[in-house]
C-alpha cells in the first residue's frame, strides 16, 4: 500500500471534497463476509455475517438517507436481506439444494465495524458426504469481497475462502482434515529421524554391541539370534518410551527446556554411547542409557514439532502421528542395519575393528557437534 | 507448510471471538456510511451502460481508496470497470485504471500485462507509462523502469519525466547526483501534487544519504503542499520514530487511525512512550493481519513483518514475513525490514540475497545496518 503511485497523484484532488468522510475510528479492511456452517447428520446450523455497510450497498437500508444505518432500519429490511442472502448463498449435497431458513438477525461487532449476523438452519435430503457451497454475496458490487468459511463436521473444523465470482466450493466431510494432519505429521516424523542423523547415531551406538556378549573383558559373538533380538528390543523400547514421554510433555507445553541445552546433551549422549563400546562400563543394561538419554532426545523432537505447530483441532492426532513417524523411521533403519551386523558378529574384523573404530568415529563427530552446539553462538 | 498450520490455529482463536447481540434501541447507529456511499444498484446499472460514467466513477473510487486507505473502494472501482473489462478489447482508459487497482493489490505482473495491452492501443498514454515505471521500480527492475520514465518526456507535466528517472537513478548507484538533480527541478513549475511527490522523493533520498535534518525539511514542505499525501506522512512518521520522537509521531497521525500502515506507526509510537494506549491499535492490527492471512492477501506484509518484530518481539515470524515480502516488492523499506528481522532472528544469511541485489545495483542507504554488523 505504501508504494506511491504518482500516476494517481493528480486524481487526489477529485476526491478532496470527500476526504475524512464517515469519521468513525475503525480499521479499514477489505470487505469480508463470515460464514459458519455446522453439519450434524442431514441437519445444518450456521450463520452468515455481512458488514452493515455492505448490506447498505447490496440492498439499500438507509431509509431516511441520513448516511447512518440504525438498528431499526436494518431490522426493517430483514425480509429483503433474507431474500438477498437466499439468492446468493446456497448449500447443496449430492447435487440437491439444502434449503436455507433464515432466522431473526442480530448484530456482531468486529474490529472493522458492526455486522448483520443472520443465523440459519438448513436441511439436506440426505446426510451429506460432501457439501457444495455457492457464495455470491456482494457479487457485482465488490469483486474483492471474500466469504471466510469455517465448517464444522464430525468434530473437525475446516476453513475456506469463498469469492463471489469463483466456482462453487466443494468440501468433503467424510475425509476429515484429521486424516490429512495425521499423514502429514507421520511423514514429518519419518523425515526428521532420517534427516537428523544424531538420533540414529545414538541408537546405533547402543545397538552395535547388541550382537555381542562381554565375557572376561572381551567381546564374544552371541551364540544365536534370541539374545541379540532381546538386546535390540530392550534398547529400542527404552529409547522409544523415554522420548515419547518427553516429546508429549514438551509438545503439550507442560515442560520446556532451552534448545541449546537439549541439543548439546543429545550430542554428549552420542559420545557416551559410542565410547561405551570402546571402553565398556555398562555392558548389561544399555537399555538404561537408552532410557535416560532418550528423555533428552524427546525434547529434541519436540523442538521440530514446535516449529511446525500443532493444528488446534487435531493436536493429539498430529502429535501421535509425528511420534509414530519417528518410530517407523527408526525401526526401518534398525531392521536394515541389524541383520547385517548380526551376520558380521563372528568376524574378528567386526569385533576388533568395525565396532571400536566405527564407535570412535561416531564419538569424534558427536564431539564436533557438542562444541558447535554448546559453545558457538546461535545461528 | 509450517506457517499455514500455525496460522490456522490463530485463525480459529480469532473466529471464536464472535458474540452476536440484539441492540436494545432501534435508534442505535450501527454504521456511518462514507459520504456518498449508497445502495449500489443504480450507479452499477449506469456504469455498465456508459463508459463516460464507469471511468470517472472508478477513478473517483480509486482516489478515495488512496486518500482514506479504505480498501473497499478499490473493490467498488473494480466493480464499475468489470463490465468493460469483460470485453475482448477493453478501452485503454479502463485497462490503465484496472492496472492501478492491481498494483494496489500487489498483483504486479498482472498489472504490467494490462498496462502493456493499454500501451499497445495507445502508445503515448502518460499515465500508463508512469504506472508502469512505478510498478517496475517496486519490483526492482530498474532498467525497464527507466525506459518507461523516458516515454514521459514531452508527454506528461513538465518535471514528471525527470522526477521519474532521477528517482530510479537514486536507487542504482547515483544517489547524491540524483538528489541534486531533483533539487534543480524548480518546484514552482510543478502542480501541487507533483511538487509534493518531489518533496517526498527528496526526503527519502536525504534519509538514505544520512541527512535526516534535510529529510525532515523536505517532508514538512511536502505536507504543506499536499496535507493529504499518505505516502509522505508515513515516511515522515518513520523518520520521527527512528529518532524516538514518539509524541510528535502521534500528533502527525492523529487523524489517520483507520489505515493499517498508519496504525502500525501509532502502535510503535505508543510502545516508545511505554504507555498502554497503544493496545487498541495493536489489537486492530492483529485482527486485520489475521483476516488478511485468511483471505490470502499479502498487501500489508511489510507492515506485518514490522509489527511482528517491533510489537510482538517475534523475530522469526518477522523474518518469514519480511523474506516473503522481499519476494514481492523491493523498495528501500522492504530491504530495511528484512535486514533488521534477519539480524534480530540471528540469521544474517537470510538477508544475503537482498544484500547481493542491493550491491549489484549500487544501492546506498545510511539506515541499513552494514552486512555482518553485530546488533
Q: Is the pLDDT score of A103 beyond 90?
A: yes
Confidence bin at A2 (pLDDT 50/70/90): very low
Q: What is the longest distance spanned by two Cα atoms in chain B?
A: 66
Burial class (CB in 10 A: 0-12, 13-18, 19+), B193: buried
| Residues 6 or more apart whose Cβ sits within 8 Å of residue A3 | B103, B134, B138, B329, B331
Confidence bin at B93 (pLDDT 50/70/90): very high
Q: What was the pLDDT predicted at A15?
A: 30
Summarize pLDDT for A148-190 with one digit per residue, the tens: 899 988 778 888 889 887 788 888 886 445 676 788 788 888 8
Question: What gap in Å lies between CA A214 and CA A162, rounded to an integer?
Answer: 68
Query: Residue A35: how many CA atoms within 13 Å on its side-chain side?
Result: 28
Average pLDDT over every residue of B213-240:
93
Question: What gap in Å lies between CA A82 and CA A105, rounded to an integer?
Answer: 9
DSSP helix/strand/coil, A218: strand
Q: Which residues of B touch A378 (CB under 8 A)?
A: 346
Q: Which residues of B touch A34 (CB under 8 A)?
A: 15, 18
Q: Which residues of A touch B70 (CB under 8 A)?
A: 28
Contact A24 B70 (CB under 8 A): no
Percent of chain A topping pLDDT 70:
88
Residue of B nearest to A314 (CA): B9
Q: Please answer whether residues B219 and B225 qualify as being in contact, where contact means their C-beta atoms are separated by less than 8 angstroms.
A: no
User: Sign (positive/negative) of CA torsion A215, A220, A226, A227?
Assistant: positive
Q: Is the pLDDT score of B13 beyond 70?
A: no
Contact B15 A145 (CB under 8 A): no
Q: Which residues of A touch B19 (CB under 8 A)?
A: 108
Q: Is the pLDDT score of A1 beyond 70?
A: no
Residue of A nearest to B191 (CA): A10
Give the closest of A12, A20, A113 to B66, CB-based: A12
DSSP helix/strand/coil, B141: coil
**Which residues numbered 206-245 in A keep a CB inside 8 Å of some CB on B?**
none
Q: What was the pLDDT predicted at A307?
A: 66
Q: Is the pLDDT score of A138 beyond 60?
A: yes
Average pLDDT over every residue of A214-234:
85
DSSP helix/strand/coil, A19: coil
Q: Is the pLDDT score of B374 beyond 70?
A: no
Summarize pLDDT for B152-170 with one digit per residue, the tens: 998 888 789 999 999 999 9
What ipTM was assigned to the predicted interfaces of this complex?
0.77
Residue of B nearest to A139 (CA): B79
Question: What gap in Å lies between CA B141 and CA B109, rounded to an integer?
Answer: 12
User: Does residue B77 sit at the A interface (CB-CB below 8 Å)?
Assistant: no
Contact A312 B9 (CB under 8 A): yes
**Which residues numbered 149-168 in A keep a CB inside 8 Å of some CB on B?**
150, 157, 159, 161
Q: What was the pLDDT predicted at B14?
A: 41
Q: Which residues of A touch B182 (CB under 8 A)?
A: none
Report residue B327 CA to chain centroid gap.
16
Summarize pLDDT for B236-280 with one digit per residue, the tens: 999 999 999 999 999 999 988 778 889 999 999 999 999 888 888
Confidence bin at B363 (pLDDT 50/70/90): very high
Give the closest of A7, A30, A141 to B134, CB-based: A7
Q: Which residues of A touch B255 (CB under 8 A)?
A: 20
Q: What was the pLDDT predicted at A51?
A: 94
| Mean pLDDT, chain A, whole residue set | 82
Identify the residue among B6, B10, B30 best suited for mutation to test binding to A, counting A beta carbons within 10 A and taking the highest. B30
Confidence bin at B287 (pLDDT 50/70/90): confident
Confidence bin at B10 (pLDDT 50/70/90): very low
User: Does residue A27 sit at the B interface (CB-CB below 8 Å)?
Assistant: yes
User: Does residue A376 sit at the B interface (CB-CB below 8 Å)?
Assistant: no
Confidence bin at A309 (pLDDT 50/70/90): low
Question: What gap in Å lies between CA A305 and CA A293, rounded to an integer?
Answer: 19
Confidence bin at A313 (pLDDT 50/70/90): low
The more confidently predicted of residues B12 and B158 is B158
From the list A61, A37, A67, A38, the residue with the least C-alpha distance to A49 is A37
Give the closest of A69, A117, A141 to B20, CB-based: A117
From the list B9, B236, B130, B364, the residue with the least C-alpha distance to A11 is B130
| Residues 6 or more apart whose Cβ sits within 8 Å of residue A378 | A260, B346
Amino acid at each position: 500500500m505504501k508504494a506511491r503511485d504518482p500516476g494517481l497523484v493528480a486524481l487526489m484532488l477529485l476526491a478532496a471534497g470527500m476526504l475524512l468522510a464517515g469519521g468513525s475510528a475503525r480499521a479499514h479492511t477489505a470487505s469480508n463476509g463470515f460464514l459458519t456452517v455446522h453439519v450434524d447428520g442431514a441437519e445444518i446450523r450456521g450463520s452468515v455475517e455481512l458488514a452493515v455497510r455492505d448490506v447498505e450497498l447490496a440492498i439499500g437500508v438507509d431509509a431516511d438517507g441520513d448516511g447512518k444505518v440504525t438498528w431499526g432500519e436494518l431490522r426493517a429490511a430483514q425480509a429483503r436481506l433474507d431474500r438477498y442472502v437466499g439468492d446468493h448463498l446456497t448449500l447443496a449435497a449430492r447435487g440437491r439444494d439444502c434449503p436455507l431458513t433464515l432466522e431473526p438477525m442480530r448484530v456482531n461487532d468486529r474490529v472493522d465495524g458492526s455486522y448483520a449476523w443472520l443465523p440459519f438452519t438448513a436441511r439436506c435430503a440426505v446426510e451429506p458426504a460432501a457439501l457444495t457451497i455457492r457464495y455470491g454475496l456482494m457479487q457485482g458490487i465488490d469483486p474483492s469481497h471474500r466469504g471466510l468459511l469455517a465448517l464444522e463436521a464430525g468434530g473437525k473444523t475446516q476453513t475456506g475462502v469463498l469469492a463471489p465470482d469463483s466456482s462453487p466450493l466443494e468440501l468433503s466431510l467424510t475425509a476429515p482434515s484429521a486424516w490429512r494432519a495425521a499423514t502429514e505429521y507421520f511423514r514429518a516424523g519419518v523425515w526428521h529421524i532420517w534427516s537428523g542423523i544424531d538420533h540414529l547415531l545414538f541408537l546405533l551406538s547402543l545397538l552395535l554391541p547388541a550382537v555381542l556378549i562381554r565375557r572376561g573383558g572381551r567381546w564374544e559373538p552371541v551364540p544365536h539370534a534370541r539374545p541379540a533380538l532381546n538386546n535390540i528390543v530392550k534398547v529400542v523400547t527404552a529409547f522409544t518410551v523415554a522420548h515419547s514421554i518427553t516429546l508429549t510433555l514438551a509438545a503439550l507445553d507442560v515442560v520446556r527446556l532451552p534448545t541449546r541445552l537439549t541439543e548439546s546433551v543429545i550430542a554428549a549422549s552420542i559420545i557416551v554411547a559410542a565410547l561405551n563400546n570402546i571402553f565398556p562400563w555398562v555392558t548389561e543394561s544399555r537399555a538404561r542409557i537408552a532410557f535416560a538419554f532418550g528423555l533428552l532426545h524427546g525434547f529434541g523432537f519436540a523442538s521440530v514439532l514446535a516449529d511446525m505447530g500443532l493444528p488446534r483441532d487435531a493436536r493429539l492426532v498430529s502429535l501421535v502421528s509425528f511420534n509414530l513417524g519417528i518410530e517407523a523411521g527408526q525401526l526401518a533403519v534398525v531392521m536394515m542395519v541389524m541383520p547385517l551386523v548380526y551376520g558380521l558378529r563372528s568376524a574378528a574384523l567386526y569385533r576388533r575393528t568395525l565396532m571400536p573404530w566405527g564407535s570412535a568415529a561416531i564419538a569424534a563427530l558427536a564431539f564436533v557437534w557438542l562444541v558447535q552446539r554448546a559453545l558457538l553462538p546461535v545461528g | 507448510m509450517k506457517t499455514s498450520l500455525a496460522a490456522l490455529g490463530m485463525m480459529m482463536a480469532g473466529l471464536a471471538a464472535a458474540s452476536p447481540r440484539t441492540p436494545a434501541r432501534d435508534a442505535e447507529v450501527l454504521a456511518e456510511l462514507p459520504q456518498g456511499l449508497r445502495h449500489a444498484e443504480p450507479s452499477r446499472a449506469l456504469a455498465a451502460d456508459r463508459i463516460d460514467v464507469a471511468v470517472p466513477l472508478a477513478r473517483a473510487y480509486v482516489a478515495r481508496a488512496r486518500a482514506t486507505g479504505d480498501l473497499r473502494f478499490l473493490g467498488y472501482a473494480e466493480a464499475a470497470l468489470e463490465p468493460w473489462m469483460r470485453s475482448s478489447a477493453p478501452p485503454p482508459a479502463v485497462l490503465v485504471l484496472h492496472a492501478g487497482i492491481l498494483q494496489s493489490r500487489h498483483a504486479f505482473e498482472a498489472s504490467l500485462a494490462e498496462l502493456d495491452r493499454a500501451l499497445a492501443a495507445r502508445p503515448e498514454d502518460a499515465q500508463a507509462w508512469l504506472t508502469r515505471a512505478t510498478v517496475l521500480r517496486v519490483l526492482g527492475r530498474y532498467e525497464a523502469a527507466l525506459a518507461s520514465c523516458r516515454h514521459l518526456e514531452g508527454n506528461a507535466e513538465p518535471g514528471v519525466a525527470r522526477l521519474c528517472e532521477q528517482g530510479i537513478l537514486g536507487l542504482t548507484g547515483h544517489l547524491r547526483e540524483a538528489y541534486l538533480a531533483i533539487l534543480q527541478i524548480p518546484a514552482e513549475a510543478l502542480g501541487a501534487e507533483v511538487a509534493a511527490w518531489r518533496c517526498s522523493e527528496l526526503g527519502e533520498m536525504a534519509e538514505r544519504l544520512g541527512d535526516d535534518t534535510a529529510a525532515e525539511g523536505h517532508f514538512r514542505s511536502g505536507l504543506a503542499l499536499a496535507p493529504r499525501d499518505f505516502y509522505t506522512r508515513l515516511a515522515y512518521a518513520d523518520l520521527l520514530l527512528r529518532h524516538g520522537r514518539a509524541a510528535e509521531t502521534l500528533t502527525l497521525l492523529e487523524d489517520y487511525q483507520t489505515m493499517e500502515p498508519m496504525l502500525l506507526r501509532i502502535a510503535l509510537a505508543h510502545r516508545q512512550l511505554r504507555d498502554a494506549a497503544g493496545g487498541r491499535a495493536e489489537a486492530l492490527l492483529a485482527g486485520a493481519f489475521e483476516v488478511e492471512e485468511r483471505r490470502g492477501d499479502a498487501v500489508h506484509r511489510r507492515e506485518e513483518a514490522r509489527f511482528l518484530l517491533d510489537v510482538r518481539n517475534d523475530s522469526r515470524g518477522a523474518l518469514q514475513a519480511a523474506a516473503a515480502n522481499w519476494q514481492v516488492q523491493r523498495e528501500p523499506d522492504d530491504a530495511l525490514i528484512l535486514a533488521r528481522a534477519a539480524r534480530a532472528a540471528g540469521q544474517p544469511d537470510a538477508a544475503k540475497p537482498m544484500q547481493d541485489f542491493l550491491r549489484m545495483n549500487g544501492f546506498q542507504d545510511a539506515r541499513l545496518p552494514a552486512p555482518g554488523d553485530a546488533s
